[in-house]
């Protein structure tokens, strides 16, 4: 079977397993996911979606349903699509319209790691081990034990034997921070609801530029683990910026990934003028023109809103329009 990720326009992702020679629409309906469709013979175009990665074949359809130009851009008719590999399909409809919702899976705490005064890492194991799937870069809502509340965190790893990692800001007095810093223990029960989010790694077809701010590093660690298992043929450069020296974590992990992923390089930047770090300032102060490839680059950014605004302004100043610009804003004082 091939695994298909259906990413709905509200950020909800559901995974389906498609049998050999099974139409994607049929597989979705078999699992209770109602992809919009008014016909089943490639005539109406209602089930038109875009395949963002993977290999597939298409049966017959008419131009009124999908043009040759759309097909060349990766658009598909799910009523005529057969997957030849794992695929990611963007569905132009909400999960509610398609009568689905995020999955909720049970998990247990594995361990908690105080990575620095400002950053905590923790790992959970899902039950069963294969209960959760996600695209590298996505997040889930994690229940806070002892409360009825959840917090949203990006995965900072791929899943290994059912275990997934997270990287979070240690917020004094924060609900999840207080639990992790003083109460969490192995075996604690949690729930994970998701995966959620349109910030995820697409198929690598050109150079990549990763821009991480603080704990916005988390989704990139998951993306890089994916690239380690699927070595890209294009260069990947990361600029990882933090406010203070103590915020700079997981550098050893990045150094290891740089050794194992051909073409992956990274630099670190600290904003504090009093820092002793060799590079001070913001990510835009240390963004080499060579990493922009004249705009022929896919840019991924995860950081606070001012960082997103600053990078956009920098691109405008340089008169650079990246081939694609995917970003996720977060306020570290709230959920990330």
Q: How far is Cα 260 from Cα 197, in angstroms, rounded to an integer?
A: 28
Class of the 208-329 domain? alpha beta
Give every CB contact of residue 308 below 8 A, 6+ residues apart in sequence.
301, 327, 329
From the number of C-beta atoms within 10 Å of its C-beta (0-12, 13-18, 19+), residue 313 rates as exposed
CATH 3.10.20.30 at 2-91, yes or no: yes
Say if residues 34 and 99 touch (Cβ distance below 8 Å).
yes
Percent of the chain with pLDDT over 70: 98
The string of pLDDT tens digits covering residues 286-327 is 999 999 999 999 999 999 999 999 999 999 999 999 999 999
DSSP assignment of 186-224 equals TT-EEEEEEEE-S-------S-EEEEEEGGGHHHHHHHH
Where is pLDDT greater, at 42 or 331? 42
The secondary element (H helix, E strand) that includes residue 317 is helix 305-318
Say if residues 257 and 223 touch (Cβ distance below 8 Å).
no
CATH 2.20.25.570 at 103-196, yes or no: no
Say if residues 284 and 307 touch (Cβ distance below 8 Å).
no
Over residues 65-71, the mean pLDDT reads 94
Pick the closest to residue 210 from 270, 137, 158 (CA basis). Answer: 137
Over residues 217-231, the mean pLDDT reads 98
What does the pLDDT read at residue 336? 39
The pLDDT-based confidence of 225 (bands split at 50, 70, 90) is very high
β-bridge pairing 324-329 and 298-303: parallel
What does the pLDDT read at residue 101? 86
Q: How far is Cα 252 from Cα 97, in angstroms, rounded to an integer?
A: 44
The pLDDT-based confidence of 332 (bands split at 50, 70, 90) is low
Where is pLDDT greater, at 130 or 331? 130
Q: How far is Cα 195 from Cα 179, in angstroms, rounded to an integer?
A: 23
- Strand ranges inside the chain, DSSP E: 2-8, 13-18, 48-53, 56-58, 75-77, 81-83, 87-91, 103-116, 119-127, 139-143, 150-154, 163-169, 189-196, 208-213, 236-242, 264-270, 298-303, 324-329
The secondary element (H helix, E strand) that includes residue 62 is none
Which residues of the chain does CATH 3.10.20.30 include?
Answer: 2-91
Compute and round to an integer the Cα radius of gyration of the chain. Answer: 21
Over residues 137-144, the mean pLDDT reads 96
What does the pLDDT read at residue 41? 82
Which residues of the chain does CATH 2.40.30.10 include?
Answer: 103-196
What's the pTM? 0.90
The string of pLDDT tens digits covering residues 6-62 is 999 999 999 999 998 999 999 999 988 988 888 888 889 999 999 999 999 999 999
**pLDDT averaged over every residue in the chain:** 94
β-bridge pairing 119-127 and 163-169: antiparallel
Which residues of the chain does CATH 3.40.50.80 include?
Answer: 208-329
What does the pLDDT read at residue 335? 44
Over residues 261-280, the mean pLDDT reads 97
Say if residues 133 and 199 touch (Cβ distance below 8 Å).
no
Pick the closest to residue 123 from 138, 136, 113, 133 (CA basis). Answer: 113
Over residues 208-212, the mean pLDDT reads 98
C-alpha 121, offset from chain centre: 18
């Amino acid at each position: 079977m091939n695994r298909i990720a259906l990413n709905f326009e509200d950020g909800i992702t559901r995974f389906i397993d498609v049998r050999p020679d099974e139409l994607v629409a049929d597989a979705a309906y078999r699992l209770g996911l109602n992809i919009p469709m008014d016909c089943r013979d490639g005539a109406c175009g209602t089930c038109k979606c875009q395949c963002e990665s993977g290999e597939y074949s298409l049966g017959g359809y008419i131009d009124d349903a999908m043009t040759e130009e759309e097909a060349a851009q990766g658009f598909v008719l799910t009523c005529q699509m057969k997957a030849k590999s794992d695929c990611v399909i963007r569905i132009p409809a909400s999960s509610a319209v398609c009568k689905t919702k995020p999955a909720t899976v049970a998990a247990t705490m594995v361990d908690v790691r105080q990575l620095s005064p400002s950053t905590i890492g923790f790992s959970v194991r899902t039950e069963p081990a294969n209960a959760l799937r996600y695209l590298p870069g996505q997040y889930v809502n994690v229940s806070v034990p002892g409360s009825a509340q959840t917090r949203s965190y990006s995965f900072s790893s791929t899943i290994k034997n059912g275990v997934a990692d997270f990287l979070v800001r240690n917020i004094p007095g924060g609900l999840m921070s207080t639990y992790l810093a003083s109460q969490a223990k192995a075996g604690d029960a949690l729930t994970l609801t998701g995966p959620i989010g349109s910030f995820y790694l697409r198929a690598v077809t050109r150079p990549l530029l990763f821009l991480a701010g603080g704990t916005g590093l988390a989704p990139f660690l998951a993306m890089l683990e994916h690239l380690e298992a699927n070595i890209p043929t294009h260069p990947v450069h990361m600029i990882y910026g933090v406010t203070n020296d103590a915020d700079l974590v997981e550098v050893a992990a990045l150094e290891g990934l740089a050794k194992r992923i051909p073409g992956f390089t990274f630099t670190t930047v600290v904003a504090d003028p009093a820092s002793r770090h060799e590079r001070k300032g913001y990510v835009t102060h240390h963004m080499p023109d060579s990493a922009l490839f004249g705009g022929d680059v896919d840019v991924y950014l995860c950081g606070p809103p001012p960082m997103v605004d600053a990078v956009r302004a920098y691109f405008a100043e340089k008169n650079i329009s990246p081939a694609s610009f995917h970003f996720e804003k977060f306020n570290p004082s709230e959920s990330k």
